[in-house]
Amino acid sequence: MPIAQQPHGHLRSFGRIQARPLKPRQAALFDTLLPSIAVPEGAFDPRALAPEAKEVWLEIGFGGGEHMAGQAARNPQALVIGAEPFVNGVGSALRHVEEQGLKNVRLHHGDVRDIVAGLPDASLDRVFIMFPDPWQKARHHKRRLIQDDFLAELARVMKPGARLRFATDWANYADWALEKILACGAFAWPAERADDWRVPPADHLTTRYEEKKLGDCAPVFLDFVRA
């Protein structure tokens, strides 16, 4: 099987899977903590994972988990589901969950499209896509997460009025995402002035990745509403 091709037929929208060996503590959490907070395989109702939750949020590609954990800590009323294929990122997130004693986080170690495919219609209240792999070269744009078919699936699982935040520090990807998401027809973009996408939203949590400034522009924050 080609390395860029996944079993479900989609081109892989992420790069490396592991950069270095896991630290012993993180490796242990894969065996002790992850099984108890892992998202079930196949179709599932997120409300069954946390019946007391008033909202269900999804973070796509949570990186090291700082943003996801921070949002979960600030919003105990929400069940926060995170998906990340990068082994070291999952290990880092597990550490954050354990250290902060978070009870409202569930994780998927793998492609988020597997989760979205298993979700019921109109089951999510909020979605974060924070600094996804930009695949800068034009020939690699087909590997970007933001594609027509994925947006259609995302719209299916988001409630009317649910919020979607897309953030990137690559200018071309910001333009690409804005065009694709608006063309989808399922999302409204209520921005009225430049500060609405240039200034970090009030509830934004800066991550280590963001601080590295690896992109070609200042971070762009695009907040949409499911129509």
Average confidence (pLDDT) over 54-61:
98
Mean pLDDT (the chain, rounded): 92
Q: Which amino acid is at 32?
A: T
What pLDDT sits at residue 8? 45
Q: How far apart are CA 122 and CA 115, in angstroms?
A: 14
Could you tell me the domains of the chain?
24-226 (3.40.50.150)
Tell whether the model's pLDDT for residue 88 goes beyond 90. Answer: yes
Average confidence (pLDDT) over 112-120:
96
Q: Which residues contact 212 (CB under 8 A, 6 or more apart)?
A: none
What pLDDT sits at residue 9? 52
What pLDDT sits at residue 19? 58
Q: Which residues contact 5 (CB under 8 A, 6 or more apart)?
A: 11, 12
What pLDDT sits at residue 5? 32
Asked if residue 180 lies in contact with residue 147, where contact means CB atoms within 8 angstroms, the answer is yes
pTM: 0.91
Q: How far apart are CA 69 and CA 81, in angstroms?
A: 10
Question: Which is the catalytic residue, given 133, 148, 175, 195?
Answer: 133
What pLDDT sits at residue 12? 56
| Percent of the chain at pLDDT exceeding 90 | 88
Q: Could you read off the pLDDT of 139-197 as tens digits, one per residue?
A: 989 999 999 999 999 999 999 999 999 999 999 999 999 999 999 999 999 999 999 99
Q: How far apart are CA 125 and CA 14, in angstroms?
A: 25
Specify the residue for token string 């200018």. 171
Tell whether the model's pLDDT for residue 225 goes beyond 60. Answer: yes
What pLDDT sits at residue 208? 85
What pLDDT sits at residue 21? 84
Average confidence (pLDDT) over 200-212:
93
133 is catalytic: yes
